[in-house]
Amino acid sequence: MVSGDVAAVEVKDAVVRWGDTTAVDGVSLSLGRGRVLALLGHNGAGKTSLLQVCEGFRRPDDGTARVLGLDPVGDHDELMPRLGIMLQSGGVYPWAAAGEILRLFAGFAANPLDPDMLLDRLGLRKVERTRFRRLSGGEQQRLSLAVALVGRPELVFLDEPTAGMDTEARHTTWQLIEELRADGVSVLLTTHLLDEAERLADDVVIMRNGRVAATGTPAELTAAAGIDLLEVRADPGLDLTGLRAHHTVTETSPGEYTISGALDTTGLAGVLTWFAAADAQVTAVNSRRRTLEDVYLSLTAAHATVGAGK
């Protein structure tokens, strides 16, 4: 019943300025139907500003945003029933009970999910009658998530969905987001948690200072950076001079060699060829791939000169 031809979100060259500050500086991204896109970046990288544009809270100062093929500002009333929006904080009457809030928003929808099911799934049953302002930060977050989902939306915007949650709630939320994806809901989430992005996202957009620093699937992003560390077990006490001309090598313990630094395929072949040439008996090779965290840190570090990744 849902048209799959139009992208869930299509942002082109979006610019958002708050006074003299440029929060978003020419960002483009695309979220396909039924996919999960994570906007990753430090606080102040422009994630929330970009989300505000997608949610129709403000127009971009330049560029365009289409959501489900519609204009988030101009087609606001048509779009809202199809979206689930989880704000970063607040958005709820402090004096209303958790259950009352969820049922209010359920009542706005034509085919809502069962609020009781959501209360159970998100561990909110015991605070159903507790007023919003008495909920813990994590409980408030989970209620906001429930409110975003209750209308059976096609597309959800989750602004730091697991901020303030404990480990258990975070895992529950992750499972829920995976289930959303499996059921065909498109998800755009912001996070500064790398494991969250790595686990949930089909596509990752790393933002830095309002620009896209890199974009790709988690696998693409980590693979592009190559192997980060190679451990080789071979005969002890090899003369490493030749290898050290090109690599940082240490013999951490007798016969255990660690080659650190990014290695592409050619570099890897070179290292192994060197061991072969040295007539060393190699008994084990262990590579550690770069994690998203390594990629992220190298892209977002203050001194990094890396501009647009790809």
Partner 1 sequence: MSSIGTFTPAPGRAPMRAIIGRQIRMELLLTARRGEAVVLAMGVPLLVMLGAGLFDVTKLPTDDRLGYVVPGVLALTVMSTAFTGQAITTGYERSYGVLKRLGASPLTRPGLLLAKVAAILVQVVVQVLVLSAVAVAVGWRPELSDLLPAAGVTVLAAAGYTGLALLLASILKPETTTGAATLIYVVMLSVGGIMFEAPDLGTAGWFLLPLAAHAHALRETLMNGASVPFTIWLSLALWAVVWLTAAARNFRWE
Name the minimum Å distance from CB 57 to partner 1.
Answer: 7
- Tokens 């809502």 -> residue: 112
Residues within window 38-77 making contact with partner 1, judged by CB under 8 A: 55-57, 76-77
Per the document, the length of the chain is 310
Distance in Å, CB of 224 to partner 1, minimum: 31
Nearer to partner 1, 110 or 302 (CB): 110
Stretch that binds partner 1, among 148-156, 218-226, 252-260, 300-308 (CB under 8 A): 148-156
Site string for partner 1, 223-262 (x = CB under 8 A): ----------------------------------------
**Residue 230: partners with Cβ closer than 8 Å, 6 or more residues away:** 258, 259, 260, 263, 268, 271, 285, 286, 287, 288
Torsional sign, CA 92, 93, 99, 102 = negative
Quick check: 238 and 278 in contact, CB under 8 A? Answer: yes
CA angle 298, 47, 161 (to 5 degrees): 100
Using the rule CB under 8 A, which residue among 32, 91, 216, 226 binds partner 1? 91
Q: Which two tokens stand for residue 120?
A: 């159970």
- The residue range among 19-27, 42-50, 149-157, 276-284 that interacts with partner 1, by the rule CB under 8 A, is 149-157
Which of 28, 89 has the CB closer to partner 1? 89
Among candidate residues 51, 60, 40, 61, the one with its CA nearest the CA of residue 83: 51
Q: Between 90 and 236, whose beta carbon lies closer to partner 1? A: 90
**Closest CB 213 distance from partner 1, rounded Å:** 29
Q: Which stretch binds partner 1 (CB under 8 A): 175-183, 225-233, 275-283, 290-298?
A: 175-183
Tell me how far apart the alpha carbons of residues 251 and 57 are, in angstroms, rounded to a whole number: 57
CB 201 within 8 A of CB 29: no
Residue 56 zone, left/alpha/beta (φ > 0; ψ -120 to 50; rest): left
Site membership for partner 1, residue 272 (CB under 8 A): no
How far is Cα 180 from Cα 174, in angstroms, rounded to an integer? Answer: 10
Q: Residue 117: which H helix or E strand, with range?
A: helix 115-121
79/271 with CB nearer partner 1 = 79
CB of 124 to partner 1, least distance (A): 16
How many residues contact partner 1, by CB under 8 A? 44
DSSP class of residue 44? T
Stretch that binds partner 1, among 93-101, 203-211, 265-273, 280-288 (CB under 8 A): 93-101
Among 69, 74, 184, 242, binds partner 1 (CB under 8 A): 184
Choosing from 151, 161, 210, 218, the residue that interacts with partner 1 (CB under 8 A) is 151
Contact in structure between 256 and 282 (CB atoms under 8 Å): no
Alpha helix locations (H) across 208-291?
A: 218-224, 241-244, 265-277
Q: In what order do the strands lie in the sheet with 256-263?
A: 248-253, 256-263, 227-233, 284-289
Q: Could you tell me which residues are beta bridge partners of residue 120?
A: none
The residue from 69, 107, 137, 242 that contacts partner 1 (CB under 8 A) is 107
d(CA 177, CA 158): 10
Residue 193 interacting with partner 1 (CB under 8 A) = no
Stretch that binds partner 1, among 11-19, 105-113, 160-168, 201-209 (CB under 8 A): 105-113
Q: Rule CB under 8 A: which residues touch partner 1?
A: 1-2, 34, 55-57, 76-77, 80-83, 85, 87, 89-96, 100, 104-105, 107-111, 113, 117, 147, 149, 151-154, 179-180, 182-185
